[in-house]
Amino acid sequence: MTRILVTTHPFGEKENLPRETLQNQGYEIRYNAVGRKYKKEELMKELKDFSPEIILAGTEKYDSETLSYCPKLQCISRVGIGVDGIDFEECAKRGITVLNTPDAPSNAVAELTMGHMLNMLRKIPYMDQKMREGSWERYIGRDLSESTVGIIGYGRIGKLVYKKLSGFTPKNIYVNDIDLDQLNGLNSSQIANLEKVLEESEIITIHIPLDEKSKNLITKKELDSMKKNALLINTSRGGIVNEKDLINWLKENPEASAAIDTFLDEPYNGEFVKLENCYLSPHAGSCTEKSRLDMELGAVLNAMEFIKKMKNEK
């Protein structure tokens, strides 16, 4: 009987179909027991105790040390897009297949990005808080239609942000991507290098994977080149923007603000929570009913297809 460990959380909370699909196959299944992202020590204990052949993974990291606790592992089926936490070289050495669901969460992340964008321009939570405190304080915000927006990364999510953003008719949209082929079809006046995006945009939104090239892409130098009232959105991965540098920049520039959905260490409870010009969400980009169902069921079907293929090859 194939042993499947579901490490991601939540899983099947809004729609039970992913669990039903798994359970109907006769697999031996163990679900996330802590109700949140596993800490490394918790994950290693779970791997050692259960010895899975398949993992339906969240954003936890699988490095050489962690993988050594599951010698029977054959496949990591990621619930979502990002695979930056998985050591592909180590997986290749151990014969572990890595799968993901790249399309499933894209629209939900793009919509959260737009929500953060509009929220920061109008400071909706700030006004809500003031009213609850008994203060009728109307914040004078900015129009998206009067703003220049820079999109860093023009893959699945970046393209969707561009499409949704275009309906608001911003003053300019600049797009930057390492992969120039991704930019095909854009007007040449919209394609910009990173320096231009940072220097000329009122709003900057990041949609790139975390890898060696993008790690600490935005540090003090880049932040200091931005407008003093710029809005920065990161719904991609913690580590792309240097957190210490961003905290200092937000303190030095109270008219600026940042919206952050992903962090180096999650769950997060660091200094960002003390900053009034920082808007936080708990890695919730994919957390819509449709997105979660598509990701969870997609990861289940990927795993089932892998199991079927392995059986056919025996």
Catalytic residues, by residue number, are 237, 266, 283
Instruction: Tokens for 198, please give them.
Output: 């940072």
Question: CA-CA distance, 34 to 227, in Å (whole number)?
Answer: 42
Helices (H), the chain: 17-23, 40-50, 64-67, 88-94, 106-122, 124-132, 156-166, 194-200, 220-224, 243-252, 289-313
Is beta strand 54-57 parallel, antiparallel or unpaired with respect to 3-6? parallel
Q: Sheet containing 278-280: which strands, arranged edge to edge?
A: 172-176, 148-152, 203-206, 231-234, 257-260, 278-280
Q: Sheet containing 28-31: which strands, arranged edge to edge?
A: 28-31, 3-6, 54-57, 75-78, 97-99
Give the SS3 label for residue 135: coil
Q: Is the dihedral of CA 185, 190, 192, 198 positive or negative?
A: negative
Question: CA-CA distance, 5 to 25, in Å (whole number)?
Answer: 14
Query: 33 burial class (0-12, 13-18, 19+ CB within 10 angstroms)?
Result: exposed
Question: CA-CA distance, 56 to 307, in Å (whole number)?
Answer: 13
Q: How far is CA 2 from CA 52, 66, 275, in A?
A: 8, 20, 48
Q: How far is CA 161 from CA 33, 111, 238, 270, 281, in A?
A: 35, 7, 19, 28, 18
